[in-house]
Amino acid sequence: MSEVTKITGPLAIIAGQGPLPCVLAEAVAAHEIPLHIVALRGEADEEIERFPHTWMKWGEIGKLFGALEKSGCNDLVIIGAVNRPDFGNVRPDFGAIKALPFLLGLGKGGDDSVLSRIVNYFEDKGYRVHGAGDVAPELLAGEGMLSTKTPSAEDKTDIEIAFKVVRALGRLDVGQGAIVAKGRVLAVEAAEGTDAMLQRCADLRTSGRTRGARAGVLVKAPKPGQEERIDMPTIGPETLRKAAAAGLAGIAVAAGRVLLAERAATIEAANENKLFLVGENWDEIDD
Amino acid sequence: MSEVTKITGPLAIIAGQGPLPCVLAEAVAAHEIPLHIVALRGEADEEIERFPHTWMKWGEIGKLFGALEKSGCNDLVIIGAVNRPDFGNVRPDFGAIKALPFLLGLGKGGDDSVLSRIVNYFEDKGYRVHGAGDVAPELLAGEGMLSTKTPSAEDKTDIEIAFKVVRALGRLDVGQGAIVAKGRVLAVEAAEGTDAMLQRCADLRTSGRTRGARAGVLVKAPKPGQEERIDMPTIGPETLRKAAAAGLAGIAVAAGRVLLAERAATIEAANENKLFLVGENWDEIDD
């Protein structure tokens, strides 16, 4: 786990989808660090306009670096999912033409190699790339119980198996999550994301392929060696609601390595849905 | 890989869903081995009535063993998927009451442990349990190209990665399949099955999260140590059609370890959809 990073100058937030860019911007503002959001058009929420910002399109690499320079940002956080661009629809600006060999390489390979290349690209230009958890550690799930409900002995066994699955897969650059119920691995996350995986388990239930009382656990953890600075596993209130719909008993996350998109609302959603939510010491779980 | 089993006496086929029980019955009949199908009501296709048969419901364990005895079968093959029974709706006969401790244990654990317990249960009673491929090896996908189209160099890399994923997961008693495109693991199969996994990849394409020309491969292989006698990975024409809809370039299977549900129709579906279909020597692929 990385130490908290002390940032003095202004911070750029390169914003993709979802609530996280704004949640982070609020946290950064609370730390009294000046910030500027560079928001990806078609991906980022308009909500980000509450903060100093620049909109850019895929391919407007020149505009991106112009915004970073103008706002005096040498430190940046890249946050929020983005769809892989359809290069056929990207209209590159002059900055993008220079970056073309780099951009063309992004269509290939596992998530991790793509993300590492993005981080390297910024670092090669002298920027410092941080994880959201590094600049605002209060956004991370810590170790211990977050919910009122606690896991049963059976849940604990499921948690252990799910961590093993995530660990084995992470070595192959796959996913950040798995669902295990009564010792059986119901679902493994790859490119579809956590929400789709939970929906799948809800479908298994509806179709009668899993049955009975609530059982099972979703585990979220980073892949070993994952580029956590720009792809940290994340859960939010919606994750809890979907886990309840999938008939699970709770969620376990790797402590200090998973972002809570909206902390209070996430914990509330756990309690409302009678799910446990726990941060497990990831390093202690052996395989 | 197991040797071809010489069966002399009559063979019982305990039949679940899909075309495989009938395909196997035809193959067995062609070998001039007498057979009797014990078909699970609500699971097996009525098509099985073409052959000597007994229908049984979940819980009618007494009826099952009665049918085996009456037809003089000491050898049996269990084939075709079944849903895990909803024990609340099972009306056990006298045979089932004796088997109750065994039945109650089936609700728990990974697929493999459940399947091994079923095999052990029959073996403890003196029956010999065979794999479909053991009694009718012509149903297995052999090594080498089955389709007209052949995999590209990029496809071969995807095949290798997908075999690694299936192998790593199999050790944890998960799934029999994975989909990899351009070096990226798109989907991993767990409890949802191959068709649902392919549908997911089709959805990723529709939603724009994967794009471009056809790329990627579905790999099917047994889990290491899998109870292949009753849970052999299987593909059929529908698998090929779904792979095409998911935008894949082809399918690779572990040679000699995967059943082709309907051989001619499966190969035809590969050619019609311009997909490659290849049997790879599973033991040669290292990790």
Q: CB A84 to CB B209 under 8 A?
A: yes
Q: Which of B171, B187, B191 is facing A204, going by the closest CB pair?
A: B191
How crowded is residue B8: how many other Cβ atoms within 10 Å of its Cβ?
9
Q: CB B165 to CB A174 under 8 A?
A: yes
Bridge partners, residue A180, by sequence? A185, A217
What does the pLDDT average to over A206-212? 66
Q: In this structure, what DSSP letter does residue B32 have? A: T
| B173 at interface of A, judged by CB pairs closer than 8 A | yes
| Separation of alpha carbons B213 and B195, rounded Å | 21
Q: Which residue has the tokens 């009949």?
A: B29
B16, two tokens: 């679940």
What does the pLDDT average to over A32-48? 93
- pLDDT band for position B172 (cuts 50, 70, 90): confident
- CA distances in angstroms from A22 to A37, A68, A229, A267, listed in the order given: 9, 18, 17, 19
pLDDT of the residue at B255: 94
Residue A231 has pLDDT above 50, yes or no: yes
Burial B34-59 (b: 16+ CB within 10 A, else e): ebbbbbbeebbbeebeebebbbbbbb
What does the pLDDT average to over B79-93? 68
| A213 at interface of B, judged by CB pairs closer than 8 A | no
Which residues on chain B are in Cβ contact (under 8 Å) with A187?
A: 190-192
ipTM of the complex: 0.75
Q: CB A171 to CB B171 under 8 A?
A: no
pLDDT of the residue at B110: 63
| Separation of alpha carbons A87 and A73, rounded Å | 28
Which residues on chain A are in Cβ contact (under 8 Å) with B212?
A: 107
A226, two tokens: 């994952």
Residue that wins the pLDDT comparison between B53 and B122: B53
- pLDDT band for position A117 (cuts 50, 70, 90): confident
Residue B120 has pLDDT above 50, yes or no: yes
Residue that wins the pLDDT comparison between B65 and A109: B65
| A110 at interface of B, judged by CB pairs closer than 8 A | yes
B123 phi and psi angles, rounded to 5 deg: -65, -35
| A172 at interface of B, judged by CB pairs closer than 8 A | yes
Domain boundaries, chain B: 11-137, 140-284
Share of chain A above pLDDT 90, in %: 55
Bridge partners, residue A251, by sequence? A218, A277
Residue A1 has pLDDT above 50, yes or no: no
Range B11-137 classified under CATH 3.40.50.20? yes
Of A126, A92, A100, A131, which Cα lies nearest the Cα of A115? A131
- pLDDT band for position A156 (cuts 50, 70, 90): very high
Residue A236 has pLDDT above 80, yes or no: yes
pLDDT of the residue at A269: 97
Residue A285 has pLDDT above 70, yes or no: no
pLDDT of the residue at A112: 64
Least confident of A42-51, A230-239, B19-28, B155-164: A230-239
Residue B1 has pLDDT above 60, yes or no: no
| B172 at interface of A, judged by CB pairs closer than 8 A | yes
- Which DSSP helix (H) or strand (E) runs through B207? none
Q: CB A211 to CB B86 under 8 A?
A: yes
B123-151 pLDDT tens trace: 988 999 998 988 999 999 999 999 999 99
- pLDDT band for position A4 (cuts 50, 70, 90): low
* Chain B: residue whose CA lies nearest to A190: B187
SS3 (DSSP) at B240: helix
* Chain B: residue whose CA lies nearest to A162: B172
| A105 at interface of B, judged by CB pairs closer than 8 A | no
Q: In this structure, what DSSP letter does residue A5 have? A: P
How crowded is residue A171: how many other Cβ atoms within 10 Å of its Cβ?
12
pLDDT of the residue at B167: 87
Least confident of A5-9, A242-246, B6-10, B175-179: A5-9
| B1 at interface of A, judged by CB pairs closer than 8 A | no
- pLDDT band for position A271 (cuts 50, 70, 90): very high
| A145 at interface of B, judged by CB pairs closer than 8 A | no
Q: Which of B182, B184, B190 is facing A188, going by the closest CB pair?
A: B190
Shortest alpha-carbon distance between residue B170 and chain A (Å): 10
Assigned CATH class of B140-284: alpha beta
Max CA distance (Å), chain B: 59
Shortest alpha-carbon distance between residue A111 and chain B (Å): 7
What does the pLDDT average to over B200-218? 80
- What DSSP string describes B133-171? HHH-GGGB--SEE-SSS---HHHHHHHHHHHHHHHHHHT
| A109 at interface of B, judged by CB pairs closer than 8 A | yes
What does the pLDDT average to over B16-45? 93
- pLDDT band for position A267 (cuts 50, 70, 90): very high
SS3 (DSSP) at A43: coil
| Separation of alpha carbons B45 and B51, rounded Å | 12
| Separation of alpha carbons A230 and B115, rounded Å | 42
pLDDT of the residue at B2: 45
Of A130, A141, A128, A176, which Cα lies nearest the Cα of A3? A130
Q: CB A169 to CB B169 under 8 A?
A: yes
Terminal-to-terminal C-alpha distance of chain B: 19
Bridge partners, residue A12, by sequence? A36, A76
Which residues on chain A are in Cβ contact (under 8 Å) with B107?
A: 182, 212
- CA distances in angstroms from A135 to A3, A125, B190, B243, listed in the order given: 9, 21, 37, 44
- pLDDT band for position B210 (cuts 50, 70, 90): low
Q: Are B215 and B151 in contact (CB under 8 A)?
A: no
Q: In this structure, what DSSP letter does residue A17 have? A: S
Residue A133 has pLDDT above 60, yes or no: yes
| Separation of alpha carbons A143 and A157, rounded Å | 18
Find the angle CA(A49)-CA(A50)-CA(A51) to the nearest 5 degrees: 85
For B143, counting Cβ atoms within 10 Å of its Cβ (0-12 exposed, 13-18 middle, 19+ buried), the class is: middle
Q: Which of B182, B184, B191 is facing A187, going by the closest CB pair?
A: B191
Q: CB A187 to CB B186 under 8 A?
A: no
Cβ neighbours for A250, distance < 8 A, ≥ 6 positions apart? A147, A149, A151, A155, A217, A218, A243, A270, A275, A276, A277, A278
Q: How many interchain CB pairs under 8 A, A with B?
A: 116
B87-108 pLDDT tens trace: 566 666 777 666 666 665 666 6
pLDDT of the residue at A223: 78
Residue A2 has pLDDT above 50, yes or no: no
A106, A113, A164, A188: best mutation site toward chain B, by most B Cβ within 10 Å? A188
Share of chain A above pLDDT 70, in %: 84
Q: CB B83 to CB A164 under 8 A?
A: no
Of B66, B70, B54, which Cα lies nearest the Cα of B15? B54
Q: CB B190 to CB A186 under 8 A?
A: yes
